[in-house]
Structure 1
Amino acid sequence: MLKISWLFIFLVLISGCKTTQKGTSFRNTSVLETAVVKEKHLENFSQFNTLESRMKVRYEDKNQLQSLTVTLRMQKDSVIWLNATVLGIPMARAMITPGSVRYYEKLNKTYFDGDFALLSKLLGTDLDFYQFQSLLLGESVFDLKNNKFDGDIRKGLYRLQSNSVSALFQAVLLIRPDNFKLAEQQVLQPKEGRFFRAQYLSYQTASGQTFPQIMTWTALDNQEKITIDIEWKELETNLALNLPFKIPSDYSEMISK
């Protein structure tokens, strides 16, 4: 059985709320140039200084099903802090910055102190701080300004697909026409047999900004499948944050194999 510590490491690489946009069907979507769709998506990136939310997280692979409650605190472009509990019992905590990934879990008294390079190698996919932040916020993890994408409309959604035939991976974005946030983003690595999809099933509004409410991440590595369902709760922005983090001196360092 996968230990909770490794579950939480995977998650790392991974004013009140108003009306929720859920299960929306889009019809008669206006035809727009690809450049305009990209620009509108970038214009609708969330603008805030700090963010705090509780998240219900459900993790499933072929061996197990786990449910966690995770407190998320984010200082935009600077720090992502995560605290996980199971049935109210503190289990793990992480502090992520652009230059470091630090984590400890209480059950086995172990810790991880490294960076995204080591963690990306461990997981078999490249991911940096800003991409992880974008993944959480329903925003493209791909550089839309400096990469070429082909565009069309699929089922009422704007579809952008990377058009470089020499790329080792393929990128696909599905963008909603109502708020130009993501409905879905995909990364395909055909040679390695890897596929990652983030689906944003509904959105919510807090302090005049649009944030995901329910999302599902699915990762396939050949025949191995992992699914993570995330539901945001009690989201607030621009509050003073407390980000306590200290690895206990009697904890042992995790050794990656």
Structure 2
Amino acid sequence: MKKYILAAFSSLLLLSCKTQPSVEKKPVDVKAPVSSSAFISTVTKKSGFNQVKINSKVDVQTGNFIPTIDATIYIENGNKVWMNMTAVLFNVARGIATPSGIKGYEKWNKTYIESDFTYLNNLLNVNFLNYNSFQNLLTGKTFVPVNEQDFVLNKNMQGYALNSSKNQKVTVNGKTTEYKINLDYASNFDLNKVLLQEINSSNSLEVQYSNWNVFGTERFPQNVKIIIKGEKNGQVLIENTKFDFSTIQTPYSVPSGYTKVNIR
């Protein structure tokens, strides 16, 4: 059962977008100097869309066989992420994430979960994800906490590197975890890669974004790769095949006869 729950909710971790007709965008002057404060303000700007519906193909690699998942992902900005998943033409799972936590069920073993974001944090070997950072991760936005005092900005041939100048401490439920954080951006400020290494542990999380394209009035990555190493290991690869701005119904209810799985 665990591998199917992992497949379902690992799928919720990512979002990518297919190429759309070009939308005129003011060019970025890459030769002009950029201050750390202005840069951080730009790359942490909130998303402006209202809702987005995505059709995606999700490949989850955990060491166990998991078929390719076809997913419909629907995001209401700041409110919820809803997902319906099928494999081999059969509906296999459904999940929803809101600021209060996550819920999901899978049909293989007729089980369901209800949890705060501890569950997703455990899947990713981190401890700082809440709804806002989760949505930022999905949409290719900067999803780790950054501030000018604790990070150093450098210009390079590829664009920009924003690296923590000291270990970043995150305390949750009385437990403090320290991270070394590296973020790489293109010259137009698209996020290319995020690498978090937990201090005093082998745990690390790397998220790679590529093939950025215009989607509506914003830019999103077409492909996302997430790499988990340490206490848990795995990779999730996402490719989106269709998307639009339409509003859809997002029903969620656990079928009768399903067993709740306790989250540890």
Which residue of structure 1 aligns with residue 54 of structure 2? 53
* Cα distance change of structure 1 residues 166 and 241 upon mapping to structure 2, 3 Å threshold: closer
Counterpart among 237, 244, 251 of residue 244 in structure 1: 251
Q: How does 1:98-177 map to 2 (within 5 A)?
A: 98-121=99-122, 124-126=125-127, 127-145=129-147, 148-165=150-167, 167=169, 168-177=178-187
Gaps of 5+ in 2: 23-29, 170-177
Distance 2:214 2:197 in 1: 31
Moved more, 141-150 or 243-252: 141-150
* Cα distance change of structure 1 residues 87 and 29 upon mapping to structure 2, 3 Å threshold: farther
In the superposition, the TM-score normalised over structure 2's length comes to 0.83
Do 2:113 and 2:263's aligned partners in 1 also have CA atoms closer than 8 Å?
no
Which residue of structure 1 aligns with residue 235 of structure 2? 227
Q: How does 1:64-75 map to 2 (within 5 A)?
A: 64=65, 66-75=67-76
Do 1:50 and 1:241's aligned partners in 2 also have CA atoms closer than 8 Å?
no
Counterpart among 35, 38, 41 of residue 36 in structure 1: 38
Distance 1:184 1:124 in 2: 17
* Cα distance change of structure 1 residues 125 and 42 upon mapping to structure 2, 3 Å threshold: closer
Count of aligned positions = 245
Moved more, 111-120 or 211-220: 111-120
Do 2:179 and 2:197's aligned partners in 1 also have CA atoms closer than 8 Å?
yes
DSSP 3-state at the match of 1:192: coil
* Cα distance change of structure 1 residues 156 and 17 upon mapping to structure 2, 3 Å threshold: closer
CA shift digits 1:97-120 (9 cap, x unpaired): 010210001111110012113543
* Cα distance change of structure 1 residues 240 and 165 upon mapping to structure 2, 3 Å threshold: closer
CA shift digits 1:158-207 (9 cap, x unpaired): 000112246410111111112x1201111110312111111111112222
2:16 aligned with 1:6: no
Distance 2:123 2:55 in 1: 27
Distance 2:135 2:251 in 1: 20
Distance 1:57 1:206 in 2: 20
Cα-Cα RMSD:
2.5
How far residue 246 of structure 1 moved from its aligned partner, in angstroms, is: 0.7
Distance 1:175 1:119 in 2: 25
The residue type equivalent to 1:3 in the other structure is K
Moved more, 150-159 or 104-113: 150-159
CA shift digits 1:44-76 (9 cap, x unpaired): x43111110011111113344541111100101
In the superposition, the TM-score normalised over structure 1's length comes to 0.85
Q: Percent identity?
A: 22
How far residue 227 of structure 1 moved from its aligned partner, in angstroms, is: 1.1
Do 1:93 and 1:104's aligned partners in 2 also have CA atoms closer than 8 Å?
yes
Do 1:185 and 1:197's aligned partners in 2 also have CA atoms closer than 8 Å?
yes
Distance 2:195 2:164 in 1: 11
Distance 1:105 1:89 in 2: 12
DSSP 3-state at the match of 1:120: helix
Moved more, 116-125 or 158-167: 116-125
How far residue 142 of structure 1 moved from its aligned partner, in angstroms, is: 2.0
DSSP 3-state at the match of 2:108: coil
* Cα distance change of structure 1 residues 122 and 36 upon mapping to structure 2, 3 Å threshold: closer
Which residue of structure 2 aligns with residue 192 of structure 1? 201
How far residue 19 of structure 1 moved from its aligned partner, in angstroms, is: 5.5
Moved more, 228-237 or 245-254: 228-237
Do 1:70 and 1:82's aligned partners in 2 also have CA atoms closer than 8 Å?
yes
Do 1:54 and 1:233's aligned partners in 2 also have CA atoms closer than 8 Å?
yes
